[in-house]
Each structure stands twice: as C-alpha cells, then as structure tokens.
C-alpha cells in the first residue's frame, strides 16, 4: 500500500447530510485512533474526523518511515506500522472515518449533544466529543521561491522514501527532520544535498556526524534563491557565501518547521492555556461531554509523547462511557475476557 492507513475507507457526508454517533473524535492521530478504539470497546459508536487525507496525525505526516523506540510493548516500531496497527485495532468497531475534512465549529445541538460542522459541508451529531487535534492547524514554513513548485517537486515532508529513488534531492533546513531525511534518502536517491543557512546544525550531534560521514553534499551558510523547471522542478540556484551555483533537483524538501495554532478549535469556547485545551483528571474540558486528549490537551506535568496520549485516550473514553450511560462502571471489562473476537 502507498500511504499509511490506506485500508481506511472515508466517506464524507453530502453537504446536507449528517452522521449520527455516540462519540465524535476530532483528530486521527495516535491519541484519536486509540480514543475511538476505547469508545468502541465500551459499545459506543464513533466518527473520526481529520483534516489530513490519511490517519496517523504527526506520525503519518512527518515521520512514517522512522523507527519509534518508546511506545510501550514495542522495542521498535516503524511509524507507518504503528498507525496501521492502530487502524487495525479499531477496525472491529467500524468507526466512521471522515478524512480530508476539517471540523470547523462545535455547537450544542437542538437535541442533547453536539453538532460539529465540517468544511466542505456535512456535519456530525454526537453525544460526546473527544478533541485529539494534536498541534491543531500546522502550516509549513517556506520560502517565496519555493511556493510556485509546491506539489510539483517541492514538498514539506517525505511520506514515501521510495518515490525519491534515483532523484537529485535537495533538503533545506538544519534541524532533526532535515538531517534525518537526508540520511534516510542517501542510500536510494541519486544525489542528496542539504542546504542550511547557518554554519551550525540544530539537529542531534550524532545525526550531524553521520550526515557528514555519509554520501551527502552539505552546503552551509547557503540559501536557495531560485527554482526552475517547465511544469515540474528541474533545477535550483543556490547562493553559498559569495558563490552562486546551479544544481539539478527533481525534488526539494523544505524542512523549515511549522507554524502551529489551534485553528478553528480556538473559537469553540474551550478554556485554553498556552495554546492547549485545559482538562481535568478525567480529560474533561470546561464544556459538558467534551474531552481533550493527546498533545492538544493541557494538565500539570503532561509529557507530549505517544504513550501518554494513549493513556489520555483511555481515560477520556471510559469517562465518556459513564457520562453517556450513567450507572455503568468506569473501569472497562478486561479485553482478555473477549478472546479473539476483537480481531478484524
């Protein structure tokens, strides 16, 4: 399969239609996918909405090919593999995926519960909402000369290493992403050049050392001044000190970081601190039956890690189950009691 989570079927409602579920999850990153699983385990129907066309949040968008070493129970797991497993784990509960669409507004519905409007039309009606929106809206930093070639050779991340096989690839930036991608692409690209405007790299010193030792051309105190090509990117011009040079480039990856903000969620009436949604120990926000989990939420001492997001998700979904079905137990039954019935 080409993309992470390609097995997911997404069906956007027509502009005048609505999806009715017990729980709407905003964000299909690891925390959102696991919240959907935990809600399904409690017998709650679920819709998962994400602006991106694929599930997996930051993992799918920024590092699908990287190994992750600190997820409990996995000595090592590749990003795309973790996402595929999360999608597979929730599949028996048949969540309604609404991908490639942004949740724009949250308003109390005329009946009990909440209505979420989706950009491009359609809405979700849910008894409870779990916001798992991670960094919120993130916009890649760029350079003016790159914009005309966006999607035509210029990209802001590397969803599939393979597509760069045999290409001349230029990577712009000096942080971890720039150096990691350079190292990952070096064995399969025809030529990898890293262009960084400073003399020192911000990336981890060990990776920087590996980059200098690898078959990678490194240009420091340098900047891209021009992109050229008929239709697609073919070559670029670089100024390095007093020197001007022209390099062939069928691909340029700008790893210059992202500008993030809450996006539409900022207008939903939630209590926010430092761009994060404030929650209590049950992951409840200030709005009734609206919870927040993962990197978007804030409580004292929270650590922004995938494993912590999983814990948030389990807490939120089980509290939602009690809030929606008063009298039910907070602790779910043990999954071991279900045997293999939960495998797709």
Ligand X SMILES: Cc1cc2nc3c(=O)[nH]c(=O)nc-3n(C[C@H](O)[C@H](O)[C@H](O)COP(=O)(O)OP(=O)(O)OC[C@H]3O[C@@H](n4cnc5c(N)ncnc54)[C@H](O)[C@@H]3O)c2cc1C
Q: Has 271 been labeled as part of a binding site? A: no
Does 279 bind ligand X (CB under 6 A)? Our answer is: no
The neighbouring-strand residues paired with 168 are 191
* 214 marked ligand binding residue: no
Cβ atoms < 10 Å from Cβ of 16: 8
Phi, psi of 245 (to 5 degrees): -140, 160
* Of 176 and 234, CB closest to ligand X: 176
Shortest approach of ligand X to residue 34 CB, angstroms? 8
Collapsing DSSP to helix, strand or coil, 71 comes out as coil
Nearest Cα to Cα of residue 17 among 101, 91, 92: 101
123 and 116 Cβ atoms separated by less than 8 Å:
yes
Annotated ligand binding at 50? The verdict is yes
Distance of alpha carbon 129 from alpha carbon 108, whole angstroms: 11
Which one of residues 68, 186, 282, 322 is an interface residue with ligand X (CB under 6 A)? 68
**Footprint of ligand X on residues 30-49 (CB under 6 A)?**
30-32, 49
Q: Given its phi and psi angles, is residue 335 left (phi above 0), alpha (psi -120 to 50 degrees) or beta?
A: alpha
Is there a binding annotation on residue 312?
no
Binders of ligand X in range 102-141 (CB under 6 A): 102-103, 132-137
CB of 240 or CB of 305, closer to ligand X: 305
User: Is 63 annotated as belonging to a binding site?
Assistant: yes
Interface of this chain with ligand X, residues 10 to 29, rule: CB under 6 A:
26-29
What gap in Å lies between CA 318 and CA 5, rounded to an integer? 25
CA 23, CA 321: separation in Å to the nearest integer? 9
Alpha carbon distance 92, 152 (integer Å): 38
Distances (CA, A) of 214 to 20, 160, 195, 202: 54, 21, 15, 18
Q: Does 263 bind ligand X (CB under 6 A)?
A: yes
Among 193, 233, 309, 319, binds ligand X (CB under 6 A): 309
d(CA 186, CA 161): 10
- For residue 156, which of 168, 139, 175 has the smallest C-alpha distance? 139
233 binds ligand X (CB under 6 A): no
Binding range to ligand X, per CB under 6 A, among 38-46, 56-64, 82-90, 233-241? 56-64
Q: Which residue lies nearest ligand X, judged by its C-beta? A: 134
Q: Which is nearer to ligand X, 49 or 129 (CB)?
A: 49
- Does 58 show up as a binding residue in the annotation? yes
Q: Least Å distance between CB 134 and ligand X?
A: 2
Binder among 4, 19, 47, 62 for ligand X (CB under 6 A): 62
Question: Is 330 exposed, middle or buried, given 0-12, 13-18 or 19+ CB atoms closer than 10 A?
Answer: exposed
What is the signed CA dihedral for 38, 41, 45, 46, rounded to 10 degrees? 20
Position 208 contacts ligand X (CB under 6 A): no
**Contact (Cβ atoms closer than 8 angstroms) between residue 189 and residue 166:** yes
Does 306 bind ligand X (CB under 6 A)? Our answer is: yes
Q: Which is nearer to ligand X, 269 or 304 (CB)?
A: 304
Rank residues 149 and 181 by Cβ distance to ligand X and give the closer one: 181
Single out the residue of 21, 23, 46, 59 in contact with ligand X (rule: CB under 6 A). Answer: 59
Binding-site residues for FAD, please?
Answer: 50, 58, 63, 103, 295, 336
Q: Which residues bind ligand X (CB under 6 A)?
A: 26-32, 49-52, 57-59, 62-63, 68, 70, 102-103, 132-137, 177, 263-265, 294-295, 304-307, 309
Binding-site residues, please?
Answer: 50, 58, 63, 103, 295, 336
């Amino acid at each position: 399969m080409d993309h992470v989570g390609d097995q997911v079927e997404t069906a956007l409602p027509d502009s005048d239609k609505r999806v009715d579920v017990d729980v709407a999850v905003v964000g299909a990153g690891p925390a959102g996918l696991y919240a959907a699983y935990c809600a399904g385990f409690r017998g709650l129907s679920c819709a998962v909405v994400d602006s991106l066309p694929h599930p997996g949040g930051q993992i799918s968008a920024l590092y699908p090919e990287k190994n992750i070493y600190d997820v409990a129970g996995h000595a090592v797991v590749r990003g795309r593999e973790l996402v595929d497993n999360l999608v597979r784990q929730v599949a028996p509960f048949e969540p309604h995926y609404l991908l490639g669409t942004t949740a724009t507004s949250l308003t109390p519905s005329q009946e009990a519960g909440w209505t979420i409007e989706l950009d491009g039309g359609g809405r979700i009606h849910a008894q409870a909402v779990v916001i798992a929106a991670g960094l919120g809206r993130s916009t890649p930093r760029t350079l003016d000369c790159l914009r005309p070639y966006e999607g035509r050779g210029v990209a802001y991340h590397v969803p599939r290493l393979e597509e760069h096989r045999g290409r001349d690839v230029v990577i712009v930036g000096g942080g971890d992403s720039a150096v990691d991608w350079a190292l990952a692409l070096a064995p399969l690209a025809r030529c990898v050049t890293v262009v960084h405007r400073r003399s020192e790299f911000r990336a981890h010193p060990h990776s920087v050392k590996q980059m200098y030792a690898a078959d990678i051309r490194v240009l420091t105190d340098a900047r891209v001044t021009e992109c050229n090509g008929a239709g697609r990117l073919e070559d670029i011009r670089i100024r390095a000190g007093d020197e001007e040079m022209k390099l062939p480039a069928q691909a340029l990856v700008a790893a210059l970081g992202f500008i993030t903000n809450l996006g539409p969620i900022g207008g939903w009436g939630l209590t926010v601190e430092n761009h994060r949604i404030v929650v209590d120990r049950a992951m409840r926000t200030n709005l009734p039956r609206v919870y927040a989990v993962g990197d978007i939420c804030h409580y004292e001492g929270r650590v922004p890690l995938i494993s912590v997001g999983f814990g948030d998700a389990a807490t939120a979904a089980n509290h939602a189950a009690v809030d929606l079905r008063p009298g039910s137990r907070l602790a779910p039954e043990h999954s071991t009691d279900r045997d293999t019935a939960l495998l797709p």
